[in-house]
Amino acid sequence: MIARLCLAALALAPVPLYAQTTTSADVATPAAPDNDRATSPREFTQALTPPPPAAPPTSIVAKPYLFLAGESDVFEISASQVALQRSQNPDVRRYAAMMVAHHTLTTNQALAAAKAAGIVPPPPVLQPDKRDMITRLLAIDAPGFDREFLTQQVSAHEAALSLHQSYAAGGDTAQLVTVAQGAIPIVTRHLEEARRMSGTQP
């Protein structure tokens, strides 16, 4: 009799909220802690298998780099030769002479590296935007020449610096990667000086 009363009292007792949402299956077979659970052979193998390696960065191909670097050098030399003819500013003329010398050097270095790597570089050809820039230098009035020249030098060297940095970081030909790495400080110096003279330093 006492046992039946105890069972009835337990049946009428309030049930905690978390217990109300627990199924009979959960109560009947409580889950064992993870560290005590037996590991299946498949799970053990998966745990020992290392993750796949990350995909390598996309390589930058040599010939497009050579073409763009060559075009950049041709533009710098051509624009600077116009500046040597038209500018009366000693600083601009000094800068232009430096451009001719340095970009002739980087052209020769790139050609030598391409030859060592067995690559025939595509001939550099000025694209329409670069040809238009040279045309503006030839046509602009003398008072506006220096500013136009320096403005062009800033934008051209920003593009050249990005090109060399990209190839130095992900180029596919070791000899040309060395050329790109060597060009970075040269182009950086040119860019900084063009910004200083044009008053466009960041």
Which residue would you say has higher pLDDT here, 89 or 34? 89
- Give the class (CATH, top level) of 62-198: mainly alpha
| φ, ψ of residue 58 in degrees (nearest 5) | -65, 130
The token pair that represents 127 in the structure block: 């694209």
Tens digits of residue pLDDT in 121-135: 999 999 999 999 999
- Kindly compute the dihedral angle of the four CA atoms of residues 157, 158, 164, 167, in this order, to the nearest 10 degrees: -150
> Is 155 exposed, middle or buried (CB count within 10 Å of its CB: 0-12, 13-18, 19+)?
middle
Tens digits of residue pLDDT in 137-176: 999 999 999 999 999 999 999 999 999 999 999 999 999 9
Domain ranges of the chain: 62-198
